[in-house]
Every structure is written in structure tokens, then in C-alpha cells.
Structure 1
């Protein structure tokens, strides 16, 4: 139901070629094989990732050990690991490569340096975080207000 209520703007989720070049220059390229955990819940979030190639699943693990996809699949051109890194907190989710993956990895400080000079990218990041927040709010609303068959 949430997808009908609120759909994130796909263009707001990905970086353009110029932004990609700036991020590549600031960070380092890292390759992860299919199945590799990129980050884990409870670890300190001191990195931001630009996904260049491949796909990454964002998920949580329930107390019973079951995986629940919570952030969907991240696609090439998307930045991930933002919220906790910008909030100086621990990660709440896991990220796992579902294909072979190539990423640009930036420390939080490197990323903040880029944002301080690349104002359009900073606005895109704010828009992305706002979109993700709105999507989460719509999902909570659906879970609270709709009967089980409607969810």
C-alpha cells in the first residue's frame, strides 16, 4: 500500500556523472564479492558508500534470527550508509552484496568535505534522506491504520 501512497523519486536517489567523479576522487574503490557483508548493525557508522556496480540488500535481523529487508535494494549510482554516518551513531541495519559489487568508500570526514564544496550534492543528500524518511512514515501509517488484508 505504501508504494501507492508515496513513491520515492528515482532521480533523487542517484548521483550524476559529475557527482560520481567528485566522490571517486575523494574516496577509494573497493570490491565486494557476492554475499559479502559490507556493514553490520551495531557497528559505528564512520563510512559512506557510493555503489558503482552491482546490487546491495539493506536488512535487519529479527530476535528469532529471520532477515527482513528494510531498506530495499540499493542500485548503481546510489549513496548508502548516510543516516547513521551523519548522525554519529551505530548502524541499525546490515548491508550485503547480492551480486559482485564495486563501491567508492568515503570516511565521514571525506564525505562532509565533499558536501561542503558541492552544494547541489548536499541538497540531493538532504532530499534523499527526506524521501527515505517520508517513505518510512508512510509505511508506519499503513501498518498502524490498515487492517491485515489491506497491508
Structure 2
């Protein structure tokens, strides 16, 4: 197995403040894998053979519901652990992870998880915090879908995307990876038609600017007001 330089993970929050020897030990069973845009890292209900840390790129995690509807669960950014089904007591992956840009991840065999957290309990604690944050976000989105008007849900989705992957430019905040209107529809539990109608209206007002798989938020304050229900 080829050597992986510890500097690739030393600055990531998951591994922060861990000694060099521990990082080398953790990387002993890791493999570096490349996923071109559009490639699935794993599929929903596939046996959870590995867990991963994303080093570069961006992934979309989707689920297909019992009635056949696809939803976007979340996006994975650099430095995040994902596919760690073992941490939630599953033997299969609950969703499909697909590269939305060319991506690089470190992968460990699933069998390495328990010995690793036994040696380094802080990894279990930090992973649990990450999973807990994702669960809290999922509950917030479910509440929004159940109780809030769709325009407010779309505004909240845009704010989440800008917080996760926003890059400030002279024109506004650019979501720095490809995002489609269909992605936003699946994030907010609505239809492509409805999202297109809302974003077209916002574009006419100069609040956002769309393009081919890109979103520029020109007026973040206005989108914040919409998200809080004070946009009128």
C-alpha cells in the first residue's frame, strides 16, 4: 500500500491536535481514490465496505424514497468524513454519494473503524458530533418542508449552500461548486418548476444570478430576510 503523507489530514478538524505517529497509524490502511465528476462513490443500500474522508472536490448525497422520489440529503465538502455507516450501526449505505466535481477521497476498509476508534476515541467523539450536526440539519429541513412556504425554504437552502461553499466575489457570494435548480428542488421538497419560477423572479429583482450549474447570490441580505420570513 502506497504511503500517504500525513500533511493531507493534519489540518482537518477530524484529526486536529493528533500527534504525527497517530496520523501515520491512521493512514496505514487508507487508500487515495479519485472520482471524476458524475462517478458514484457508493450506492444506496450497497454493503458499507469502506468509510471516507473527502480531500478535494464536492459530493452530492441522495436518497430514493419508498415511493421512488429522489431527494438531495446534503453535499459533502473537503475535510468531511462520510460513508461511515458503522458509526450509526448500519451495514449498508443509506444513500448514494456522487461526485459533482472531480474529487479525491481517502478510503479505509469498514473493518478498520472499530479498532481505529478504540485506539483514538477522539475520532469517535468528533464523528458523533458531525453525525449529530447532520441529524439536526435534517430535522430542521423536515420541519421547514412541513410548516414553511416554499419561497422561504428555497431562501434557506441558498443560505446553507453559501455558508457551506460560498466564495465572496465583487458581484456577490458564489456557490463554489455546480448546483442545479433540480438539486435545490430536491433539497427543499418541491418541484423544479416551482424553484425555477422563484429563482427567475429573484433574478429579475437582481438578488441572485443563475447560469449553467452556478448560483451567485448578489444580495445575501435580501435572501436572509426571505429566509426569516421578512422579505416583503
Instruction: Provide the TM-score with structure 2 as the length reference.
Output: 0.51
Higher relative contact order (CA 8 A, sep 6+): 1
Q: Distance in 2 between matches of 1:116 and 1:147?
A: 46
Superposed displacement of residue 61, structure 1:
4.0
Which residue pairs with 1:98 in the alignment?
Answer: 100
Q: How many pairs align? A: 135
Change (3 A) 1:39 1:134: same
Q: Distance in 2 between matches of 1:21 and 1:52?
A: 16
Higher alpha-carbon Rg: 2
What is the SS of the residue equivalent to 2:86? helix
Gaps of 5+ in 1: 1-12
Which residue pairs with 1:115 in the alignment?
Answer: 117
Q: Distance in 1 between matches of 2:120 and 2:130?
A: 15
Which residue pairs with 1:40 in the alignment?
Answer: 43
* CA contact 2:56–2:104 (8 Å) conserved in 1: yes
Which residue pairs with 2:14 in the alignment?
Answer: 15
Which residue pairs with 2:55 in the alignment?
Answer: 52
Instruction: Provide the TM-score with structure 1 as the length reference.
Output: 0.75
* CA contact 1:54–1:75 (8 Å) conserved in 2: yes
Superposed displacement of residue 131, structure 1:
0.8
1:84-109, Cα deviation, whole Å (9 max, x unpaired): 33323322211111222221111122
* CA contact 1:26–1:114 (8 Å) conserved in 2: no
1:15-74, Cα deviation, whole Å (9 max, x unpaired): 24648655432321112222111100121123101111221111134626xx532122x1
Gaps of 5+ in 2: 1-11, 154-232
Which residue pairs with 1:146 in the alignment?
Answer: 148
Change (3 A) 1:142 1:20: farther
Q: Distance in 1 between matches of 2:77 and 2:111?
A: 24
Partner of residue 71 from structure 1, selected from 54, 74, 93: 74
Q: Distance in 2 between matches of 1:26 and 1:85?
A: 17
RMSD (CA atoms): 2.4
Residues 23-32 or 100-109, more deviating: 23-32
Q: Distance in 1 between matches of 2:115 and 2:71?
A: 34
Q: Distance in 1 between matches of 2:95 and 2:43?
A: 6
